[in-house]
Every structure is written in C-alpha cells, then in structure tokens.
C-alpha cells in the first residue's frame, strides 16, 4: 500500500518536511510519568499508544497474537511475529490515522512527543557491528597502512565483530569519557588513563525481527523478511584505547563503554519507495553466489541521507545553534542489509528478535562526507575549524554530537529521528 499520497486527520502529520507523516509510522517505546512502558508509533508531533488502541477495541479485527504483542512493554514479541503481521498492523494504523470516522476514538490515545520519555525499543540480546563503507575503511586504513589500506578480505566478506549490548543506550543520555590502557608510540609501557581521542561513528542500526534457527542459514531471498526496521546509531569509539588493544582480536574496551540509538525504529515498508539499485564496480571482485541476487542488485540499496552535527559547550553558552560537520548517504554502502544478514547466518548462527546489527561508519566517497572525526581530521593531524573559531581533532568534554537521518525531501520526509548525546568529563580510577 502506497501511503505517500494519503493524508492524516492529524494536521501536524501533513506539514511539509514533517519527519513522521503517515508514510512513516516509526515504532518507539515510551513512558508518561510512571514506570510502565508502552509501545507507540510516531505520527506528526505525537505518539499513539498502541496498548490504548487495543483496549479501545480498535484492533479487534487483528489476530490475537498481534493484539497481545502491542500490549507489551518492549517490541521483541511484535518483532518476532514476522512480516505478514507487521503489514497487517501497519495497514490498520494507516486506516485509523487517515479516516476521519476514527478520529474521535483515536485522539484520546495520542500524546505529544514532548511529554513522553523514551526508552530502548526492545531487549537487545546480541549486537554485531559491521564495517560496510568502503570509503570509511579505505580512509581509516590509509592512516595506518598507507601502502595497503584495505586488507585482502574486505571486498569478499561483510566484515563484522561481536559487540556489547549491555552498554547500548537511548538518545539524550549523557556519558562520561571512558578510561582504558593507553600507550604512546615512544612510551616503554602503557598507562591507565582517560581517553584523549574520543570519536563518534555515524551508523545505521538494523533491528532483526523474526528469528532464524540454529544451523539454518538465511538466504538472500529471505534475508529482509527477518529485518524489522532501522534506526540511527552512534558507535562511540575511543581511538587511542583502540590503537593499543585491537590486535590481535579486535576492539574491546574502546567500543563497549557506550553506544547510542535513536528511540525510533522505521519499518522497512516505510523505506520501500527509497530503494535503489546496488552495484559493484566491475574492477572489484563480484560477490560469491550466496551473497548475490537479482533483487539485491535491483533494490538492495536504500537512499537514506545521513548527517553529523556538533554543539559545543561554547555554542550553548553563546546561544549559537549546532553546526553540521558532514553528510553522507547509506546508498553508498559497499554491502547491503540483506548481505549482512545472509553472511551473519551462513555458518548456521541463529538470530533472535531484537538483535541489533550496526552498519559500520557510513562515509561517502569525498573526504567531507566522512562519518567520523578520525577521517575528517586525518587521525587528529588536521583539526577542523568550526564557524565560531573553535577547533576539533576529536570530541571534547561538553560536546554534544547529533546524528540525523531521513529519506525523501523537504516536501515528504521519512525521518529516522536523531541520536544526540552529551560527553561529560571522566575520572581516572585511583
């Protein structure tokens, strides 16, 4: 069902450039002045309480399993029901929010977004971070291996590593600068200290819906049947801790201290109009058969515009707005969502509802499209200058980093919300 030309009876959902028009309907989990969490869907400047809709009898025509799932305090149960149930719920929500005959019944279930507190949308059991931007991988590799930026496996395998789900938090939370072992190139021994090279990573979070069975790979044909939706994701990184620890097994304390998500999960159906062809340069290795399909080549990429903004402590003190550092697009990704899911399971690994895949830092082909300060500042050697004269090599205490994403344009926009977090000063353990 194409909802791009259907208006809602809620005026704020029809304003040009609104991030949550009827064509979006992203999911979130929220609370209102009490401890109970509810599943909600964004529409205009409001959020509609799905539990309240069910209790009002507005979901009576849906399957009992769906009616039970929307009354839960997290999305996992709904995620696990699968694509046909997600579609049925979406169609009913479009009906309720577009037909004037339902307005009087639905309005009591609407709450202004500014009046709610958001929470993690689901219980994240496992988290895998990928490395899908060849532009990011090449620029970072050039800093450490100028003669051989990309390792031989990069163009054959969707590279990823298993991350830590317990330290994933929601947009709006502040966190302290992390501590870890640091070793200067000319130092004889490492020392325990505060991270000096804190960085953001502009990523998408991809949420698994329907799970898979242990020992049963998910094919490219079925891969996206297991994907519930996407969110903005910041995989914060301590670059100096990472440099000392990452060999031979990869990131550890440099990545598990804090990661952050937008509260909103945009369903894959809302992104369907923005699918585009995915190509692989003829000079590059073509994917092995299990990672290739006609559908992936025709519609595997998604045109999602991504942005990084910074608000420094000085900007806040001077009442200056945040400033954009870079922008890029997910359609530039070297590997698609389907390829990530398929490769993740080819060895028989099972997926569960609520599992999270990070896309890896999304950088475009041009330097100014870099999705991290590590790239923008050439590893800190070429600091960037902000419009107020401040300079940044890496993120400083008091900085607020804001990641934004959306499809479409200023007339019809499908927003992924934003993830913003404030960095606080840390303290070295005694």
Strand partners, 418: 404
Which one-letter DSSP state was computed for residue 265? B
User: Would you call 368 helix, strand, or coil by DSSP?
Assistant: helix
Burial of residue 32 (CB within 10 Å: 0-12, 13-18, 19+) is middle
**pLDDT band with cut points at 50, 70 and 90 for residue 145:** confident
- Nearest Cα residue to 240 out of 303, 287, 193: 193
- pLDDT tens column, 296-348: 999 999 999 999 999 999 999 999 999 999 999 999 999 999 999 999 999 99
Total count of residues recorded for the chain: 430
Pairing of strands 202-208, 179-182: unpaired
What backbone torsions phi and psi does residue 159 show, to the nearest 5 degrees? -70, 140
- pLDDT tens column, 371-385: 999 999 999 999 999
Q: Can you list the domains of the chain with their CATH numbers? A: 11-119 (2.30.30.230), 127-424 (3.90.850.10)
- pLDDT tens column, 60-84: 999 999 999 999 999 999 999 999 9
201 carries a ligand binding annotation: yes
The stretch 101-107 carries a mean pLDDT of: 98
List active site positions.
136
The answer to whether the Cα torsion of 209, 30, 47, 419 is positive or negative is negative
- pLDDT tens column, 208-263: 999 999 999 999 999 999 999 999 999 999 999 998 988 888 889 999 999 999 99
CB within 8 Å of 363: residues ≥ 6 apart: 133, 135, 136, 139, 202, 328, 332, 369, 370, 371, 372, 375
129 carries a ligand binding annotation: yes
210 and 82 Cβ atoms separated by less than 8 Å: yes
pLDDT of residue 250: 84
236 and 266 Cβ atoms separated by less than 8 Å: no
pLDDT greater at residue 146 or residue 271: 271
The stretch 368-397 carries a mean pLDDT of: 97
pLDDT of residue 249: 84
**pLDDT band with cut points at 50, 70 and 90 for residue 4:** low
180 and 254 Cβ atoms separated by less than 8 Å: yes
307 carries a ligand binding annotation: no
Kindly report the average pLDDT of the chain as a whole number. Answer: 96
- Portion of the chain with pLDDT greater than 70, in percent: 99
Whether the pLDDT of residue 424 is over 80: the answer is: yes
- pLDDT tens column, 31-59: 998 889 999 999 999 999 999 999 999 99
pLDDT greater at residue 250 or residue 289: 289
259 carries a ligand binding annotation: yes
315 and 321 Cβ atoms separated by less than 8 Å: yes
């Amino acid at each position: 069902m194409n909802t791009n030309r259907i208006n809602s009876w809620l005026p704020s959902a029809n304003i040009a450039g609104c991030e949550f028009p009827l064509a979006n309907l992203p999911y979130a989990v929220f609370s209102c002045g009490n401890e109970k969490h509810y599943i909600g869907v964004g529409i205009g400047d409001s959020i509609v309480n799905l539990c309240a809709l069910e209790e009002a009898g507005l979901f009576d025509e849906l399957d009992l399993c769906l009616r039970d799932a929307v009354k839960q305090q997290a999305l996992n149960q709904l995620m696990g029901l699968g694509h046909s149930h997600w579609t049925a719920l979406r169609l009913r929500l479009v009906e309720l929010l577009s037909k004037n005959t339902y307005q009087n019944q639905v309005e009591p279930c609407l709450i202004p977004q500014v009046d709610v507190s958001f929470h993690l949308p689901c219980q994240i059991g496992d988290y895998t971070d990928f490395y899908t931007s060849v532009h990011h991988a090449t620029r970072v590799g050039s800093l450490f291996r100028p003669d051989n930026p990309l390792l031989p496996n990069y163009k054959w395998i969707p590279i990823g590593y298993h991350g830590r789900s317990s330290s994933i938090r929601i947009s709006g939370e502040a966190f302290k600068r992390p501590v870890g072992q640091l070793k200067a190139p000319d130092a004889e021994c490492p020392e325990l200290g505060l991270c000096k090279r804190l960085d953001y990573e502009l990523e998408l979070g991809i949420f698994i819906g329907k799970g898979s069975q242990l020992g049963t790979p998910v094919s490219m044909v079925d891969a996206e049947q297991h994907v519930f939706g996407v969110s903005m994701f910041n995989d914060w990184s301590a670059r100096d801790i990472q440099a000392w620890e990452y060999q031979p097994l990869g990131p550890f304390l440099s990545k598990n201290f804090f990661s952050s998500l937008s509260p909103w999960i945009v369903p894959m159906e809302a992104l369907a109009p923005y699918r585009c062809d995915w190509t692989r340069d003829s000079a590059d290795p073509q994917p092995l058969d299990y990672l290739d399909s006609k559908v992936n080549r025709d519609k595997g990429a998604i045109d999602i515009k991504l942005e990084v903004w910074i608000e420094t402590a000085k900007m806040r003190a001077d009442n200056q707005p945040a400033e954009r550092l870079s922008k890029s697009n997910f359609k530039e990704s070297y590997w698609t969502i389907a390829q990530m899911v398929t490769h993740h399971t080819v060895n028989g690994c099972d997926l569960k509802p609520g599992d999270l895949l990070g896309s890896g830092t999304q950088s475009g082909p041009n330097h100014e499209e870099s999705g991290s300060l590590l790239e923008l500042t050439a590893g800190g050697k070429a600091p960037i200058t902000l419009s107020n004269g401040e300079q940044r090599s890496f993120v400083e205490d008091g900085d607020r980093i804001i990641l934004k994403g959306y499809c479409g344009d200023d007339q019809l926009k499908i927003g992924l919300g934003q993830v913003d977090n404030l960095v606080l000063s840390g303290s070295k353990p005694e």
